[in-house]
Amino acid sequence: MWYNNILETIGNTPLVKLNKIVSDIPATVLAKIETTNPGNSIKDRMAVKMIEDAEKAGLLKPGGTIVEGTSGNTGMGLAIAAVIKGYKCVFATTDKQSKEKIDALRAFGAEVVVCPTNVDPEDPRSYYSVSSRLEKETRNAWKPNQYDNLSNSQAHYEQTGPEIWEQTEGKITHLVVGVGTGGTISGTGKFLKEKNPNIKVWGIDTYGSVFKKYKETGEFDKEEIYPYITEGIGEDFLPKNVDFDVIDYFEKVTDKDAALMTREIALQDGIFVGNSAGAVIAGLHQLKDRLKKDDVVVVIFHDHGSRYVGKMFNEDWLRERGFLKDEKLTASTILAKRGAQETVMVDEEKTVLEVFNIMKTLNISQLPVTQKGMVVGKVTEGDILNALLENPSVKSDSIGRIATSSFPFVDANASIDRISSLINKTNSAVLVEDSDGKIAIITQYDIIDAISSK
Residue-level pLDDT at 327: 65
What are the distances in angstroms from CA 244 to CA 217, 240, 248, 283?
12, 10, 8, 18
Handedness of CA 215, 217, 223, 224 (dihedral sign): negative
Residue 305 domain-assigned?
yes
> Quick one: 205 and 293 in the same domain?
yes
Residue 437, judged by CB atoms within 10 A of its CB (0-12, 13-18, 19+), counts as exposed
Q: What is the CA radius of gyration of the chain?
A: 27
What are the distances in angstroms from CA 164 to CA 13, 108, 243?
9, 30, 19
The DSSP annotation for 63-108 comes to: T-EEEEE-SSHHHHHHHHHHHHHT-EEEEEEETTS-HHHHHHHHHT
Residue 271 domain-assigned?
yes
> Quick one: 136 and 165 in the same domain?
no
> Quick one: 27 and 53 in the same domain?
no
Rounded-to-integer distance, Cα 350 and Cα 356, Å: 10
Q: In whole angstroms, what separates CA 128 from the centre of its chain?
A: 18
Residue 373 domain-assigned?
yes
Rounded-to-integer distance, Cα 258 and Cα 398, Å: 52
Residue 287 domain-assigned?
yes
> Quick one: 186 and 308 in the same domain?
yes
Residue-level pLDDT at 415: 83
Provide the CATH number for the domain around residue 111.
Answer: 3.40.50.1100
**How many C-beta atoms surround the C-beta of residue 348 within 10 A?**
17
Residue 376, judged by CB atoms within 10 A of its CB (0-12, 13-18, 19+), counts as middle
> Quick one: 164 and 308 in the same domain?
yes
Residue-level pLDDT at 118: 81
What are the distances in angstroms from CA 177 to CA 33, 74, 184, 202, 388?
12, 17, 8, 7, 67
Residue-level pLDDT at 361: 92
Beta strand pairing call for 141-142 and 65-69: parallel
Q: pLDDT tens, 109-118? A: 999 999 988 8
What are the distances in angstroms from CA 340 to CA 126, 168, 391?
45, 62, 38
Segments in 140-201 forming alpha helices (H): 151-158, 160-167, 183-195
Annotated catalytic sites, by residue? Answer: 43
Report the domain count for the chain: 3
Give the residue from 320, 351, 376 where a domain finishes: 320
What are the distances in angstroms from CA 32 to CA 41, 42, 282, 288?
11, 10, 16, 19
> Quick one: 270 and 389 in the same domain?
no
> Quick one: 103 and 90 in the same domain?
yes
Q: pLDDT tens, 386-411? A: 899 989 899 999 999 999 888 888 88
> Quick one: 95 and 75 in the same domain?
yes
> Quick one: 237 and 297 in the same domain?
yes
> Quick one: 353 and 415 in the same domain?
yes
> Quick one: 303 and 393 in the same domain?
no
Residue 1 domain-assigned?
no
Give the residue from 262, 288, 320 where a domain finishes: 320
Q: CA 213, 216, 218: angle at the middle one, nearest 5?
A: 80
What are the distances in angstroms from CA 255 to CA 24, 209, 260, 265, 277?
22, 12, 9, 16, 12
Residue-level pLDDT at 453: 67
**Which residues of the chain have a pLDDT value below 70?**
71, 326-327, 435, 453-454
Give the residue from 105, 122, 142 where a domain finishes: 142
Residue 284 domain-assigned?
yes
The count of residues in the chain is 454
Segments forming the whole domain that contains residue 82: 43-142
Handedness of CA 301, 304, 310, 316 (dihedral sign): positive
Assign 296 to helix, strand or coil.
strand
Beta strand pairing call for 88-94 and 439-443: unpaired
Residue 341 domain-assigned?
yes
Provide the CATH number for the domain around residue 408.
Answer: 3.10.580.10
Residue-level pLDDT at 278: 98
Beta strand pairing call for 296-301 and 28-33: parallel
> Quick one: 17 and 98 in the same domain?
no
Residue-level pLDDT at 135: 92
Residue 29 domain-assigned?
yes
